[in-house]
Structures are given as C-alpha cells and as structure tokens.
Chains A and B, each alone.
Chain A
Amino acid sequence: MDVKETVISILNDLTGNDVSEDMDTNLFDSGLMDSMGSVQLLLELQSQLGVNVPVSEFVRSEWDTPNKIVTKVEGLVD
C-alpha cells in the first residue's frame, strides 16, 4: 500500500466512514473526528508508517480534510 491508501484506511477505521468518497470534507466540522481521533491518527501514523508527528505539530486547520492529511503525511515520509 502506498502512503495515500494507508492514510485513507486509517481514517476509515477511525471515522467508521468511507472518507475516500469526499476527500475535501472537513472531518472536524462534520463530527467525524475530534481531539481523541486526532491523537489516534498520530499514533497510527507512527506505528503504520513510522512518521513521528508531535502533538504540537497538529494544528487543526492544517489537518482537517483527508486531502490535507494525505499531503501532510506524504511530505513527512519523504
């Protein structure tokens, strides 16, 4: 699996929805994610992709849609 697929599968697990249907949906406004979900996302990124994102790096407005998250993580993997 490439980075994009992994991120999408993590998000699907966390939200219980298929996020690939709308990659620009705001996960926080729609109630799919909250701070709890954010932390789980960071932990999953660490265990599945080996990317370390400290909590203070997580600025909500930069991580609020599946597309933004994929771009962020792709940037961190390289």
Chain B
Amino acid sequence: MINLEPYGNPQYFVYLLIGLIPLMIGLYHGHRWRWYQSAVSLVFIFLMFDSQKWQQGVALIGFVIWEWLMVGGYMAYRKKANNRWIFYGAFLLSIVPLLFVKITPAINPGHTSLFGFLGISYLTFRSVGMIMEMRDGIIKEFHPMLFLEFLLFMPTISSGPIDRYRRWLDDYQKVPDREKYVGMIEKAVHYIFLGFMYKFLLAYLFGTMLVPKLETLTLRYGGTGFSWPLVGVMYAWSMYLFFDFAGYSLFAVAISYLMGIETPMNFNRPFQSHNLKDFWNRWHMTLSFWFRDFVFMRLVFAMMKNKIFKSRVTVSNVAYIFNMLIMGFWHGVTWYYIAYGLLHGVGLVVNDWWLRFKKKHRESIPHNKLTEAFAIFLTFNFVCFSFLLFSGFLSKLWFGHY
C-alpha cells in the first residue's frame, strides 16, 4: 500500500491537483460539491495514515469519535444549563487524548502514546476552541456533519494553520464569486511556488545540508560552552525552522484557497519584528492568536474581574508567563520546550516594561532608522537563541540525548 506524507514532495501536489480539479470546476461555476470535497479529503487522509502508519489511523478515528461526543455532548448540555464545572469537565475531557500523547514520552522515555497521530495537537485546538465558544454562547448549534468536516479539513489536518469554526463555516457555506475565486487560485499558485522554494530548497539547504555538519563540528570541537560552530547551529537551525514551517503553511493555505476556503496565514515576515510582542504577531500567528484569545485574554479577564492583583502590570505579567509556559508544555514535556516557553514569557514581561518606559520618556529616547535597525537585530538574535533552546540541541550537547 502506498502512503503519502502531506506535502512531502512536489509529486504530492500533482496527486492533490488531480483530486481537486473537479471540486475547482464546481467552485468556478458557483457550486460547492460537499460530498465530493468530503470524499476526496477522506482519500487523502486515508493515504496519510495507511500502511505502516495504520496505528495512527486507528488513533485518529478514536480521537474523532471522542471529540465528536465531547463537543456534541457539551452543546446538548449547554442548551439547557451553564454550570461552570460541567464546562471544566468537558474542557478537560476534550484535551485528555492530547495530555496522554504529551505526557507518555516524558514518563516513559522512548515510548509514544497509542493515542498519538500526526496532527493531534492541531485538531485538539479546533475542538477545545469550540467548547469554549459554546460556553460563551457564541456557538449555538452542533452540526454532526459540519463538525466532522471542520475537524478533518484536509489541507490543514497535519500541522495547521489553526482555523476557527465560525470563520471556517462562513467560508464553507458559501462559494466565492468567480472574480474572487480566480484571485484565490492565482494566490494559491504563487504560494505553492514560494513554498517550494522555502521547503524544498531553503529548508533543505539549512536543515539537511548545514545543520548536521555544524552540529557535528560543535560536538567534536566546540566543548559544552560557547563556540562558533554552536552559533552557526543557532542561526542555521532557526532558518531551517522558519523555511520548513512557513513553506508547509504556505502549502496548506494554498490548497485551502483552491478549495474556496481562506485559511488564515501563519507567518508575516517574523524576522523583521521590532520587538518580541511584534514577533508573536508575526510568527506562527494562528497558534499565538489562539493562545491570545483562549488563554491570555481569558486569564486576564478572570484575574481582573475577581481583582486578584491590584496592579494591571502584575496581571499582564502573570498572564504572559502562564500563557507562554502553557505554550511550552504544549510543544512537549521536555526541559527545553518548557524553558523556551518560560524564556518567551519573561521576554514579553521585559518587553512590556520597556514599552511602558519608552512611552513615559518619549521625548528623551531617540527614535530613528538606526534605533529601529538595532531593535530588529536584538529581537532577531533573542528569537534565534530561543530557537536554539527549542531545537533540543543543547540537551544533546549537555546530556547526550534529546
């Protein structure tokens, strides 16, 4: 049996296009053939999780049934009542599969959970977000089929971008007019070729050719502290991470566009950020916005409403650290992911302090092209250092294993 890794090589796009052409002809003529879209999506999802990956496929089916029951069950309850403990329960139960997947390798090194499959964290975001919006009374209906079509939306199933149910549904229930759809196809073609350059050229150059060589150099000659090859690893791996993930995200957005769905973009020139806050508005945007809306803002809201801290600054600092720590844990329960989250949390606190200071002393602090260039330089280097931590290479360097 053949197994097709999503966007794994250029050939994949040929298969995708062949599958999508009938759907595109329909959209061009003002029809969305839902049954065809579902069928072709299921074929490609099947090909992602068949043959040697069948266990992941079984885990995916189990996960989908579980989330369907949780989200559907909570909606049925929420129509009648709104007890907060039931909400907490539904929330917790919907993230249980993800918790297992994240915690298993931390307790049992080298083992992966049977519940795991490629994309579980991204699908969890989709359903947990829905439960929270149901609690708020923003989502009022559970459609058994539409829920599945959203959860299993094929272009973004493996690694995002993370779409929101209401936004997605708006697109899905209508067909873009012809002029707009043609514009979307043009953009999609552009994104696919840009993605080819990012993922198959630049990410390959940095990730496959440069990083391993620099890592070997560091391990052999660099010692455990500062060394120039280690600096090389830091920059090369950061470039690899960006081009690999941004390339993948461009593919996912492009294929969504061909299907008439405007999946949000994930990156917006992150390395031109002026400060760390700016960076998180440009890097892996759908993830950081998800955390902003569902973690940070809710936490701030709860803390301020219950007047837990007197000062607004304390509230936002606590929320920053908590928010980024959770994000760190979400990446995986290892010391370096958690340290990465903590570093960014502290970074945001310092950044906010600086922005307040700058606002107060607006007249005495110079602002020109040079200071802007310095701000970008500083942000870039902070971020690259955090990615070195994130890469896990320091763990290999210091403790001999990832």
Q: A residues bordering B, Cβ < 8 Å? A: 16, 31, 34-36, 38-40, 42-43, 54-58
Contacts and interface: CB of A to CB of B under 8 A. Distances in A.
Contact of A42 (B137, B138, B294, B301): B301
Contacts of A35: 292, 296-297, 300
Q: Which 4 A-B pairs have the closest CB atoms?
A: A54-B136, A56-B136, A39-B300, A56-B133
A16 B300 CA distance: 20
A43 B132 contact: no
B305 A54 contact: no
Which has the most chain B C-beta neighbours within 10 Å: A31, A36, A38, A57? A36
Nearest to A54: B136
Given A39-B300, A39-B301, A55 B316 contact: no
Interface size class, chain B: 20 to 34
Interface of B: 132-133, 136-138, 277, 292-294, 296-298, 300-301, 304-305, 312, 315-316, 319, 355, 359
B298 A55 contact: yes
A69 B55 CA distance: 50
B138 A54 contact: yes
A31 B360 CA distance: 14
Nearest to B277: A34
Contacts of B293: 55-56, 58
A37 B277 CA distance: 14
Contacts of A40: 304, 312
A43 B301 contact: yes
A39 to B, nearest CB: 5
A58 B104 CA distance: 36
Nearest to A43: B304
Contacts of A55: 136, 293, 297-298, 301
B304 A57 contact: no
A58 B292 CA distance: 11
A39 B304 contact: yes
A48 to B, nearest CB: 14
Given A36-B316, A43-B305, A54 B300 contact: no
A42 B302 CA distance: 12
A34 B297 CA distance: 10
Contacts of B137: 54
A38 B359 CA distance: 19
Contacts of B294: 56
Given A36-B300, A40-B312, 19 more contacts: A31-B355, A36-B312, A36-B315, A36-B316, A38-B297, A39-B300, A39-B304, A40-B304, A42-B301, A43-B304, A54-B136, A54-B137, A54-B138, A55-B297, A55-B301, A56-B293, A57-B136, A57-B138, A58-B293
